[in-house]
Amino acid sequence: MSRRQNQRAFTLIELLLVLVILVVLATLVLPKLTGRSKQAKIDAAKSQISLFDNALSLYESDVGNYPTSQQGLLALVEAPSGVKGWKGPYLTKTSIPNDPWGNAYIYVCPGQHKPDMYDLSSNGPEGNTEPIDNWTTQ
């Protein structure tokens, strides 16, 4: 037998078949893994907004109104000047955390969506195309 017949190797078709199988598996698995990370951050933002809602309710019951837009969420951890009845801090952290994407939460009082209260939102994962807020998120 010649030397070439004794050598065993994969054919080009076998290599291409393996490559196709790997690509199909990657297209099925990767979106599921990245989708979970995005959903976890969305859930974290919803939880944080809910925590702010609770703290703002406590603030309002002590002070008689919600913090102004100018005072912002910082009023939950530091007593605003001239405010009577503040019994905070209303959050356990000494600073207001950013949303899971590193941006500040948006607080407006009185709110456009909740005029008798406040609007609280995060721009979400895609900028302002998928906001997470306290008027549609419950």
Residue 97 lies in a domain: yes
pLDDT confidence of residue 5: 59
**CATH number of the domain where residue 127 is located:** 3.30.700.10
Q: Is residue 64 part of a domain?
A: yes
Residue 13 lies in a domain: no
Structural domain contains residue 35:
no
pLDDT 10s digits, 34-88 = 667 778 888 889 989 999 999 999 999 999 999 999 999 999 999 999 999 999 8
* Residue 108: φ, ψ to 5°: -135, 125
Residue 38 maps to a domain = no
Its domain, for residue 96, covers: 45-133
Is 26 part of any domain? Answer: no
- 137 pLDDT band (50/70/90 cuts)? low
Sign of CA dihedral 70, 73, 74, 79: positive
- 115 in a structural domain: yes
102 φ/ψ angles, rounded to the nearest 5 degrees? 90, 10
Domains in the chain: how many in total?
A: 1
More confident: 123 or 4: 123
pLDDT digits (tens, 9 = 90+) for 123-134: 888 766 678 888
Does some domain include residue 62? yes
Beta strands in the chain (DSSP E): 106-108, 119-122, 132-133
Query: What was the pLDDT predicted at 27?
Result: 74
Tens-digit pLDDT profile for residues 9-40 = 777 777 778 888 888 887 777 766 666 777 88
Supply φ then ψ for residue 45, to 5 degrees.
-65, -40
Burial string for 82-117 (b: 16+ CB within 10 Å, else e) reads ebeebebebbeeeebeebbeeeebbbebebeebeeb
